[in-house]
Structure 1
Amino acid sequence: MRTILIVGAGQSGLQLALGLQSQGYGITLMSSRTSDEIRGGRVMSTQCMFRTALGHERDLGLNFWDDSAPRIEGLGVSVAGAATPGGHPRVIDWVGRLDGFAQSVDQRIKMAGWMDTFEQRGGQVVIHGTAVSDLDFLVRKYDLVLVAAGKGELVSLFRRDVARSPYDTPRRALAVAYVHGLGPRPEHPGLEAVRCNLVPGVGEFFVMPALTTTGRADILFWEGVPGGPADAFQGITDPSEHLERTLELMERFTPWEYARATKVELTDAGGTLSGRYAPTVRDPVGRLPGGGLVLGVGDVVVANDPLTGQGSNSAAKCAAVYLASIVERGDRPFDEEWMRTTFDRYWRTARHVTRWTNAMLGPMPEHVVNLFGAGVTFPAVAHRIANGFDNPSDFEDFFYDPEKTAAYLDQVMAEAESEEAVAEADPERLAGEADPDGVAGPADLGEVAGPADVGEVAGEADAAVRSIG
């Protein structure tokens, strides 16, 4: 039996441990906390996982919360305009339907549950805050050592990849609150959806349905531009004060979201989190003082800002790639060449996430403003952007290059005009395809807009949106 040590009990570490365990490997898992300490601790993330990542969990039979977590079937984008005497209006607002539902399960529930399952299936869990000196000894006892703990001393083993890490300081200040009592969005009251609100010069505000330790909840998540008005949580240690500050910012910058939050309360005393970190890609191979090698996993080697909601998704995809690579290796040694080849397999997916996230952290170019604006009048655009959260590689074909964006919007417009002609000839057929929730899906049309309409919508948002970041 081949023996493997995994340090870290997060999404990637536990998913990989359980997957390898099911393949007959001898797995030791090292965690700084017990499952009970994780379950009773503070929230750790926002973790909205989309179809592909959830599929990796289902492949291993680890989808324990499919029936209890809210099924997120839409993803919407709103953009705030310049302040008026009545507050900040929305100049862009749409929601696209996801092709497969997403879910957010509080990691206190999932990681504790998975750790218990790993132990129940015969896995060895060692509760210990692992140091580099520990690994220097342990690397000689195992066929492979994987580091999946993305914080602390062990991260220093993995050199920052300068070419793939354009930012060396945090680009956002993060503040999370889990709440009960949030009302539905009046635009789609029957649809569970993640809502992404872009506030020029301030940052982003996200709302997502979730399952937490106290049942169904919603996550309120500010990503504030450092030094800006939403960078307002430093020094706050009281959870009630944290929620109060969250609501104050909502009322000021996203009044349409605040209107449904007037009766919210924290889910529990551990339901808040704040902090910041610089998005970083690292060399995947860590060399220990004694010469031994360890392989980094998940956000140890690719840590993106949570702006695009890819953290847990990337961790799940990384674990799936590593699992396949380890099994394929058979009895051959896990040498440095294999380690780098394994990471390169993951990077084929991860590079799209990194490019997209880093692009969204900077000023938004005019063609992207036009693209988001087109989502208002063209449901096909809203649908494609929403589903890009599951498959970020698709953004390569229509998001970054102005010419590709223009060609895509021309195509969408031509298809919409064709559908409009069909609708005029057979209105009953189109009525039968309309979504009852009024959510943009591939078959929905709404009112077909021409070039002037798209330009008008984008023009209202242009100056403001391009100042984000």
Structure 2
Amino acid sequence: MRKILIVGAGQSGLQLALGLQAQGYEVTLMSNRTADEIRAGRVMSTQCMFHTALQHERDLQINFWESQAPRIEGLGVSVAGPESQRVIDWVGKLDGYAQSVDQRVKFAGWMETFAQRGGQLVIHGAAVSDLDYFSRTYDLVLVAAGKGELVSMFGRDAARSPYAEPQRALAVSYVHGLGTRPEHPDFDAVRCNLVPGVGELFVMPTLTTSGRADILFWEGIPGGPLDVFQGVKDPSEHLALTLELMERFTPWEYARATKVELTDANGTLSGRYAPTVRNPIGRLPGGGLVLGVADVVVANDPITGQGSNSASKCADSYLSSIIEHGDRPFDETWMQSTFDRYWSTAQHVTKWTNAMLGAPPEHVLNLIGAAGDLQPVANRFANGFNDPSDFEEFFYEPEKAGAYLAGISPSGV
């Protein structure tokens, strides 16, 4: 039986651990927190997962909260114009519904399941020196902890990382009491509100520790009017700032948020990080090699909501690569090819996300505007969140965008 160590108990680490465990591997999982500490801790993300990522969980039969989490059937875009009035507003329908489960709920539950199924769970922060030792006692060491000292083992891939600094300041609030969006009261949707030159507000339903809730998520251009959360420690002040900015920049969303309250004292989060692609193989002082997983090696800004989706897709890809490799050594060649296999899909996420962080070119504005009149455009844009590779066909190049719109426009222009 092959022995595998996974350091980090997030979406990718836990999903991969449970998948390998089901295939008969001897898996050790290292986490710096217990399940109870995670469950009682601070929110970690917004984690809206689309159909493909959700299917990976179904395939492993670890979709424990699917019947409880709100079914997100659409994705809508609003664009603010002068005097904070909407100049664009539409919603695309998803081919398969999306869902968001608070990672405190999911990770704690998955960690307990892993232990109940006989997995070796070690509650301990890992340093490079620890991995140096473990690399000699395990057939494969995977690093799925995207923060801290371990990430420094994986060098930045400058050719794939155009941004050296954070491109957004992030602020999240989990709330109860948000009203329905009047444009579609009969179904749930993620709402993307774009405020040109200022930032973005995302609103999405979720399942949290206290049941159904909604997430208010600001992404502010650094130094701009939304970049005001740094140093705010009080959750009530954080929410008050969030609502004040909604009233100022997205009054149509504020109108349904006048009675909200935080889900819990740990229901807020703020921060920023530079989107970065790293080299996938870490070299240890003793000569051993470790393989980076998910956002350890491909960390995108959350503006396109791909973090947990990418983590799930990475775990699924790595699982296949490990199983298919059989009893052969997990050497450097295998590690690189395993990452390359994942990058074949991850590259589309990185390209799209980095494009969305910049000012949109005219043809993209035309696409977003056309979606308000042409439902197929709205639907295609919405489903790109599940399969970002489709944006290659109509989004990046003016010629392709123009040809696409001409092909579906009733007027042929």
Report matched runs for 1:152-231 at 5 Å: 152-231=148-227
Q: Quick one: distance in 2 between partners of 1:294 and 1:154?
A: 10
The offset of 1:67, in angstroms, is 0.4
SS at match of 2:313: helix
Cα deviation digits, residues 30-73 of structure 1 (max 9, x gap): 00000000000000000000000000000000100110000000
Q: 1:356 aligns with which of 349, 352, 359?
A: 352
Other-structure match for 2:238: 242
Report matched runs for 1:86-105 at 5 Å: 88-105=84-101
Q: Quick one: distance in 1 between partners of 2:394 and 2:93?
A: 19
Q: Quick one: distance in 2 between partners of 1:290 and 1:245?
A: 49
Other-structure match for 1:12: 12
Other-structure match for 1:33: 33
Q: Quick one: distance in 2 between partners of 1:412 and 1:336?
A: 48
Corresponding position: 1:147 with 2:143: yes
Other-structure match for 1:49: 49
Q: TM-score of the superposition, structure 2-length normalised?
A: 0.99
The offset of 1:363, in angstroms, is 1.1
Other-structure match for 1:401: 397
Aligned pair count reads 413
Q: Quick one: distance in 2 between partners of 1:184 and 1:169?
A: 36
Corresponding position: 1:297 with 2:299: no
Other-structure match for 2:62: 62
Percent of aligned pairs sharing the same letter? 77
Q: Quick one: distance in 2 between partners of 1:363 and 1:186?
A: 29
Residue 54 of structure 1 aligns with an amino acid whose one-letter code is L
Cα deviation digits, residues 73-122 of structure 1 (max 9, x gap): 00000000022xxxx10001000100000000000000000000000000
Q: 2:323 aligns with which of 314, 320, 327?
A: 327
The offset of 1:412, in angstroms, is 1.0
Q: 4+ residue runs of structure 1 moved beyond 2 angstroms?
A: none
Q: Quick one: distance in 2 between partners of 1:72 and 1:401?
A: 30
Corresponding position: 1:109 with 2:118: no
Report matched runs for 1:225-304 at 5 Å: 225-304=221-300
Q: Quick one: distance in 2 between partners of 1:201 and 1:249?
A: 14
Residue 386 of structure 2 aligns with an amino acid whose one-letter code is D
Q: Quick one: distance in 2 between partners of 1:342 and 1:349?
A: 12
Residue 14 of structure 1 aligns with an amino acid whose one-letter code is L
SS at match of 2:356: helix
Q: Quick one: distance in 1 between partners of 2:363 and 2:181?
A: 29
Q: Quick one: distance in 2 between partners of 1:307 and 1:410?
A: 28
Structure 1, unpaired ranges of 5+: 418-449, 452-469
SS at match of 2:41: coil
Q: Quick one: distance in 1 between partners of 2:210 and 2:239?
A: 17
SS at match of 1:356: helix
Cα deviation digits, residues 409-452 of structure 1 (max 9, x gap): 00011xx45xxxxxxxxxxxxxxxxxxxxxxxxxxxxxxxx85x
Residue 283 of structure 2 aligns with an amino acid whose one-letter code is R
The offset of 1:330, in angstroms, is 0.5
SS at match of 1:346: helix
Q: Quick one: distance in 2 between partners of 1:363 and 1:67?
A: 39
The offset of 1:201, in angstroms, is 1.1
Residue 137 of structure 1 aligns with an amino acid whose one-letter code is Y
Q: 2:374 aligns with which of 359, 373, 378?
A: 378
Q: CA RMSD in A?
A: 0.7
SS at match of 1:320: helix
Q: Quick one: distance in 2 between partners of 1:215 and 1:266?
A: 13
